[in-house]
Amino acid sequence: MRAVVVDRWQEPEELQVQEIPEPVAGPQTLGVEVRAAGCNFFDILMVQGRYQVKPPFPFVPGAEVAGVVREVGDGVEGFAVGDRVLGSGGLGGFAERAVVPAAGAWRMPDAMSFEEGAALPMIYPTSYAGLVFRADLQPGENLLVHAAAGGVGIAAVQIGKALGARVIATAGGADKLAVARQNGADETIDYREEDFVPRVKELTNGKGADVIYDSVGGDVFDRSLKCIAWNGRLVVIGFASGRIPEVKANRILLKNIAVTGLHWGAHMVHDPARVAATFRALFDLYEAGKIKPVIFKRYSLDDVSTALGALASRKTYGKLIVAP
């Protein structure tokens, strides 16, 4: 089969497709014919050897897949050959076939496309868990979403709106602000043109944001503490800016706020029942038309390097999909 193979640390533009043996489904896994795979920023870091997880060589990157079950491993229940599934296995997605842990696979809603399925397994559970489990977002509250035109940002905007919040979105440039509005943002702020802190205060009549969803970190985190409401919740999702921020505890005390983190991947180990509940809720929202993954562009397997380069440029929005 054809697959993108990493046999040394390299830059995304150096990636090449090779012919390798098809993977075989072992116990508790599914062999999947990959119809679509999602691109993530950590794929770039993993290829470069800069990610916290460093797989042994050679490996096939790509953590999110959607496709058709072609093989059911020993001990697997609830799946059959021919099922349309989405899932996340950490590796193997940028290939014609992949093996996915059955515990991390889900049958797709009938109306969901493979491209949408590949865009869902990581960013939507992350946003749902962050807003529901960690922030306890309530109807009528003000939700501030940073980087609102990125994959995880769009998911947070859609889910926040579905939960009844008033969504304030930050993004860079008119095009990305338009994407945020199209996906449910009530108010938008171009962080390249204005300081979001006074604007958030103005939009909330001086109160500040009840919940802040931050995948950026760095200065964005620091300044978010200046426009968070009394009893507000700041949810830390990641550090796309590259700097991991710190907070002085007196700030937490004085405004009675909570600074909380969300590591979605650890839920499978520590709270698997909540994982199942999250996907049920997301599929219900999808079928109700309240969430819908946004696809920026589709790429062939031979163009994975181009796709990851586009993602690294930060000029894209939504999800980039590879269709083997």
> pLDDT band for position 53 (50/70/90)?
confident
Give the pLDDT confidence score for residue 90 in this predicted structure: 86
Q: Looking at residues 117-141, what average pLDDT do you find?
A: 97
Give the pLDDT confidence score for residue 307 in this predicted structure: 96
Q: What is the pTM of this model?
A: 0.94
Strand partners, 190: 171
Give the pLDDT confidence score for residue 268 in this predicted structure: 83
Please name the fold of domain 123-265: Quinone Oxidoreductase; Chain A, domain 1 (3.90.180)
Tell me if 130 sits within 8 A of 235, measured CB to CB: yes
Q: Looking at residues 127-153, what average pLDDT do you find?
A: 97
Domain 2-120+293-322 identical in fold to domain 123-265: yes
**% of the chain residues with pLDDT over 90:** 92
**% of the chain residues with pLDDT over 70:** 100
Joined together, the tokens standing for residue 307 give 């796709």
CATH architecture of 2-120+293-322: Alpha-Beta Complex (3.90)
Residue 242 pLDDT greater than 90, yes or no: no
pLDDT greater at residue 153 or residue 313: 153
Q: Looking at residues 213-222, what average pLDDT do you find?
A: 96
> pLDDT band for position 265 (50/70/90)?
confident
Residue 133 pLDDT greater than 90, yes or no: yes
Q: Looking at residues 23-52, what average pLDDT do you find?
A: 94
pLDDT digits (tens, 9 = 90+) for 163-176: 999 999 999 999 99
Residue 278: how many other CB atoms lie within 10 Å: 20
Tell me if 12 sits within 8 A of 312, measured CB to CB: yes
Indicate the domain borders of the chain: 2-120+293-322, 123-265
Task: Tell me what percent of the chain is helix, strand and coil, each rounded to the nearest 5.
Answer: 35, 25, 40
